[in-house]
Amino acid sequence: MRSNHFLILVLLFSSFSLFVLKVHGDSPHILLIVLDDLGWSDVGFHGSTINTPNMDKLASEGVILDNYYVQPICSPTRGALLSGMYPIHTGLQSGIIRSTEPYGLPLNITILPQKLKEAGYSTHMIGKWHLGFCSWSYTPLNRGFDSFYGIYLGAGNHYTHETAGILDLHDNETPVENKDGVYSTYLYAEQAQKVIESHNASTPLFLYLPFQSVHSPLQVPTEYTEKYENITDDDRKIYAGMVENVDEAIGNITEAMKTAGLWDNTLLIVTTDNGGAPDDGGYNWPLRGEKGSLWEGGVRGVAFVHGNMLQRTGVTCNELFHVTDWYPTLLYLAGIEKDSDSSALDGYNIWSAISEGAASERTEILHYIDGDTAAIRVGDMKLLLNVTNKDWYKPPELSSEARKTKKRSGGTIRVALYNITADPYESQDLKSTYPALVRTLRRRVTYYKTGEVPSGKVDADPKAKTLARKNGYWGPWID
């Protein structure tokens, strides 16, 4: 093994010819992992009572990203991560891609594994895709991955690997029918270890590992819930066990990397895809809101970075980052340099801000636009337009009133303005204090709307479920 290889581990993350390969040295290995629906308050390093020793230790030794944002829901975040583009530029601005909807992340966009493959990478995916599968052309094997093991849809039974009673587990293009009863996190961690152990280190590796956990349905082996008898809310108890279980899987994967001789030169990045869902046991306290909302609890993501190549460690970074930033950052670390067409990206290379503490190039984030609903952050200030009112939901172990407060939200807030730096909990609406600023930020939203592509959302195609029932598994139905 060449000593100057290093592995990037990311827990989590265009036919535009945006990048060209720099001619220098060896390329890094990259492992990209997404934790699904992990709440802001559900890791130990954010003060949770849930046991997350592996993530806590890694975070304490690395750089915690405290001002980092994702999209409010699954498919838009995954599309943004792999393309480096806002959902309004990929047609994924209208929620998730459902099982019978014939569309996906547009095929004319060259995504991260395709760029890395062009640079000589061996590319593998394990876990949840959720970016379209109506045609084989939309599936992972045709989007730059050499191998795929996982599910096409957004959620499924963690033991039977079924969605709507139909199998959704695939090894490349073959349905996997012999893993009934094997918990999804165990299954994916085992597959990841196999890839790590069998990989030829002379070729750079890209391993994308988006876990199903901790997304509903709420399921976990009972030994993980027995530790949380102090939590009286049954949903929260199971969810806590799921978080601890996936934390254990992270530990097992890092051990496999150590065994393979990769860990000393590994960069680890951990991220969620959106905020936690209180109805499914996940919480974002003290942030306001939840998964699916544009409040901080929906879009402010748990994230940290760990690795010996960091020039500073044991710190919290407050620079502004967005999930689209991983695309150019990882390509930079892989030795791929931006060319003159980089304006097609919405992401920025944030490596110097993370590693050295430099100022982030990012000064604003378009959180979301879908119709009249929008949110934007510019500097310290965040504008929300036509959003559903959401409350602050305390984890049940912190408040006996949690179940009552969970249902207090409702109605539409037409305009709201917050100073997120001074008021990250979105408790003091400043729209009446700064009407000129409201107008300025509205103009920025209008600016983004002028560049919006049509939503890819289309009506459900009944042939999808008909064929799935006939075959006994979900899969492409158009071709």
Which pair of tokens denotes residue 414?
């037409």
Which pair of tokens denotes residue 169?
């587990």
How does DSSP assign 317-358, residue by residue?
E-S-EEGGGHHHHHHHHTTEEE-TTGGG------HHHHHH-P
Q: How far apart are CA 299 and CA 273, in angstroms?
A: 9
DSSP three-state, residue 127? strand
Active-site amino acid positions: 74, 130
Q: How far apart are CA 447 and CA 426, in angstroms?
A: 25
Burial 166-194 (b: 16+ CB within 10 A, else e): bbbbbeeeeebeebeebbbbbbbbbbbbe
Q: Give 350's contacts (C-beta < 8 A, 6+ positions apart).
A: 319, 321, 325, 329, 360, 361, 362
In eight-state DSSP terms, residue 398 is T
Pairing of strands 7-10, 170-171: unpaired
Q: How far apart are CA 212 and CA 386, in angstroms?
A: 31
* H-only helix segments in 380-434: 402-405
End-to-end CA distance of the chain: 42
Q: Give 394's contacts (C-beta < 8 A, 6+ positions apart).
A: 283, 285, 401, 402, 405
What's phi and psi for 422, nearest 5 deg?
A: -80, -25
Q: How far apart are CA 444 and CA 358, in angstroms?
A: 26
